[in-house]
Structure 1
């Protein structure tokens, strides 16, 4: 299925939500403005909810008739998530990715949106509210960094390197304790592993060629659809742990990204396979 829309209009809507609802609340949250969802590290703030309402209200002008799937909308109505697999056209939104950082006053968070047509991700946008710029991609048109009154720059994933020289981010928190211990031990084989607690900035860093791998286990669509498409359009290889393609309907199976298929196979074999 093909669809026509203005990705710049989508990007602008995300930036407006940040200007109106997110930045004014940064380091200005009252005690009652931060709440626990599922655990002490899974938070929601007044800014998340207000930004999502803002984006949803403006979406009819950008993608008329599209199913709106937001992280906070799904938290309120879990029955919304399965509809994504059946929708002809949908937009998936994370109003603040990196809420833990945002609530702690750490300036490392982003606003993400992806467009799904016929079960396929066709566009992705990641906005950095503090840097006031975007990385974005439309399927088949490359990945770009733009905004901040600077010329657009085409993004290119890092070139392959030896295993011991690889740097990247690995999110191990949702692995079982046994697998987490194995993966953490195997990560000693690479140059370093980090975690920003913010997929938006991890994908930005990876797609711009500054690190060599990303690994995630929990696959909520608002966290990964935009970044995966942007990374693929920057030339990287992405697949679930079993080698199958990552699709909007997937919420499990893990996700690994690397500069190319050979590097992906090497990381999968040496680091992320734990029997």
Structure 2
């Protein structure tokens, strides 16, 4: 699929800029609060991606994080307005912006392509480690050209999970997510919170994490990682078990074997977000 090469090339071009600017003084802009940080690099990276996609697919539509106002309402409205298009690119130029600002090397470029609201390819690029995760519907998932698959852990006791905390937290989701962590932590090997939803999902696909859940995320955080996991043999739903689609905001993604156990624990803790 020619769109896959477009996504790869766009991610690498944006990643080159991000890598060049990482760990140096950055001009920080603030959308709506100190927790919603946007860097000039973020904006320039999205411009690079938009230019590249538009030059190769001028009739396609792009939903990018930097083109959307801050807040849940604006994000939902933007998705509603964009998802009706047959050919839709879903872009996060830097997933993990706060990490980038602080020089914490866990951030990535995330690009997905959906046809009639179904994600058919995803690319996640970590410019610091030069790791390129790719997936195409029906063709598997790959890391730097080598096939990947989800982990083989079969019980919670063996599992390394990850989660995260939404920025701003207008709906109190941080506390809800903390309730889930407290419920699960005694039963798993450990839990991580790295600060990039897309990279966490890529790590589930690559078998580095057994599973990941988080509440109140946006389409651009999840779309590319979701297809990576399904193509790597894993399972992606919302936190109460409904199949993934691009409108999902409360995500649960695992190797499949522990999916039901994690879902049940979140339900018992009242930590599904619903």
TM over 0.5: yes
> Partners in 2 of 1:176 and 1:58 — Cα distance?
36
1:172-213 CA-partner distances (Å, limit 9, x unpaired)? 445546634431321222111111101232122211112211
What's the offset of the Cα at 1:163? 1.5
1:48 correspondence with 2:42: yes
Which SS does the other structure have where 1:122 is aligned? strand
Alignment of 1:14-29 (within 5 A): 14-19=11-16, 21-29=17-25
Which SS does the other structure have where 2:113 is aligned? strand
What's the offset of the Cα at 1:12? 1.2
1:191-236 CA-partner distances (Å, limit 9, x unpaired)? 1111110123212221111221100111301100000110110000
Q: Among 263, 266, 272, which residue is 1:268 paired with?
A: 263
Aligned to 1:232: 230
1:8 correspondence with 2:2: no
What's the offset of the Cα at 1:103? 0.6
Q: Normalising by structure 1, what TM-score? A: 0.88
Alignment of 1:53-72 (within 5 A): 53-72=47-66
Alignment of 1:23-172 (within 5 A): 23-30=19-26, 33-75=27-69, 80-146=78-144, 152-172=145-165
Equivalenced residues, count: 261
Question: CA 1:169–1:181 in structure 2 vs 1: closer, same or farther (change >3 Å)?
Answer: closer
Worse-superposed segment, 37-46 or 214-223: 37-46
> Partners in 2 of 1:84 and 1:219 — Cα distance?
17
Worse-superposed segment, 224-233 or 159-168: 159-168
1:89-124 CA-partner distances (Å, limit 9, x unpaired)? 110110111111111112221001000100100000
Worse-superposed segment, 62-71 or 108-117: 62-71
Contact 1:206–1:213 (8 Å) recurs in 2: yes
> Partners in 2 of 1:104 and 1:190 — Cα distance?
29
What's the offset of the Cα at 1:63? 2.7
> Partners in 2 of 1:157 and 1:86 — Cα distance?
32
Question: CA 1:53–1:265 in structure 2 vs 1: closer, same or farther (change >3 Å)?
Answer: same
1:219 correspondence with 2:214: no
1:119-141 CA-partner distances (Å, limit 9, x unpaired)? 10000000111122310101110
Which SS does the other structure have where 1:75 is aligned? coil
1:258 correspondence with 2:254: yes
CA RMSD of aligned residues (A): 2.0
- Provide structure 1 residue ranges, at least 5 long, that are not aligned to the other structure: 147-151
